[in-house]
Amino acid sequence: MLRNLISGLGSLAAVAALSTAASAAGPSVEEFYKGKRMRVVISTSPGGGYDIYARFVARHLERFIPGKPNIIAQNMPGAGHRRAAQYLALKAPRDGSVIATMSQGLPFAQIVWPERHKRIDSGKFIWIGNVNEGNNVLMLWHTTGVKTWQDLRNKEIVVGGTGAGSTSGQYPRALNNMLGTKMKIILGFKGGSQMNLAMERGEIDGRGSNAWASIKSITPQYLKENKLILPIQMGLTRAKGLENVPLIWELGRNEAETKVLKLMVMASRIGRPTLTPPGVPADRVAALRAAFDAAVSSKAFVDEAAKRRLEINPVSGIEVQNVVKEILATPPELAKLARAAVTKGKVFKCTALVKDKKMCRTAKKKKKSKKSS
């Protein structure tokens, strides 16, 4: 589902015009970035999907930002991506010299735990683009004995996650609270590589969420050696290669559950994002977005991604910004349901949370009509 990205040449020409117009008020975009050392802040530890995609994008982005700055990576894991989010919101320079990547689950976490995000508003971040829109999966080690998602209702397993607000914390909690699975969730991992190692050692049984693209590119040996069980996928449509794996929202037993689960999987369109702090000058924002679009559509980028088996399915920054805006505009009643779905200790009692009790009725299966004799 490749989005209609802005044409690289046309975008850069528009940036040049913006830069000329802004020159009277300060340095042009090219003057600002020339000789500049930029940073890409990565909200996880090295070696995982967010880290690999962020470094890959940054290296190619350098060629397309006017002035060709050098971009260095800075890992800032902690608090389930929130440490990096706090830095970006409160301390990072607002001049376009810092970009970042962080959890696609941040906007959803903001609507269910607004008290934790008073100073971290994902709607105020400036989203530059997403390099890969793709599904996530509940990823279990082959020794668990789990075959289908229904087995999770009868067998307790241990899954790892980075934090309650990350997708690796959100999805298993929703399955527990809404559908009665028995997953024990261990939070506090700093990234995917740590969780993979813990899984291989038998310290955990799997990961609450991992990108299907990351499994194929970073740990393809897991698939080749049949080391994984993938009972559920998270996305709007079934991914190629996972045609027989149910989507999480397909498991919803009524309208309320289905709406909450569909709201959660909107995060797949945010994917592996690149963003920058609020308040960055408009001409530099335009330059960064144009550079991102040009980089991810360039032959060098596409060829290297194919060589490294990195799945690429870009979404423009404006489109990502609109998805974030849509999530943050969730109606209060649906947000209340979502909070009950992903909060530890909460009871997801639909009839106590909504006014329209019809939303809580279990959908009845249609009976096959008898043929008239």
Distance, CA of 126 to CA of 121 (rounded, Å): 11
Q: Say what the pTM is.
A: 0.87
Say yes or no to pLDDT of 282 above 80: yes
Distance, CA of 116 to CA of 121 (rounded, Å): 10
Say yes or no to pLDDT of 277 above 70: yes
Q: Are residues 77 and 95 in the same domain?
A: yes
Portion of the chain with pLDDT greater than 90, in percent: 84
The tokens for 246 are: 């149910």
The predicted model gives 88-101 an average pLDDT of: 98
pLDDT at 133: 96
Q: What is the per-residue pLDDT across 199-243, written as a single tens digit (0 to 9) for each? A: 999 999 999 999 999 999 999 999 999 999 999 999 999 999 999
- Helices 49-61 and 299-307 sit at what angle, rounded to 10 degrees? 150
Average pLDDT value over all residues in the chain: 91
Which residue type, as a one-letter code, is found at position 340?
A
Total residue count of the chain as it appears in this document: 373
pLDDT at 266: 96
Residue where one domain finishes, among candidates 224, 248, 265: 265
Instruction: Evaluate whether 215 touches 228 at the Cβ level (below 8 Å).
Output: yes
What CATH code is carried by the domain that includes residue 151? 3.40.190.10
Distance, CA of 232 to CA of 105 (rounded, Å): 17
Q: Which domain, by its residues, includes 69?
A: 8-134+267-328
The tokens for 155 are: 């067998």
Q: Are residues 214 and 313 in the same domain?
A: no
DSSP string for 265-282: HGGGGT-SEEEE-TT--H
pLDDT at 6: 43
Count of domains observed in the chain: 2
Residue 229 counted as domain residue: yes
Q: What is the per-residue pLDDT across 140-176, written as a single tens digit (0 to 9) for each? A: 999 999 999 999 999 999 999 999 989 999 999 999 9
Do β-strands 37-42 and 273-276 pair in parallel, antiparallel, or remain unpaired? unpaired
Residue 360 counted as domain residue: no
Say yes or no to pLDDT of 23 above 60: no
Reported in sequence order, the residue ranges of the chain that DSSP labels E, i.e. its strands, are: 37-42, 70-75, 98-101, 126-130, 136-141, 157-161, 183-187, 206-211, 228-229, 233-234, 273-276, 315-316
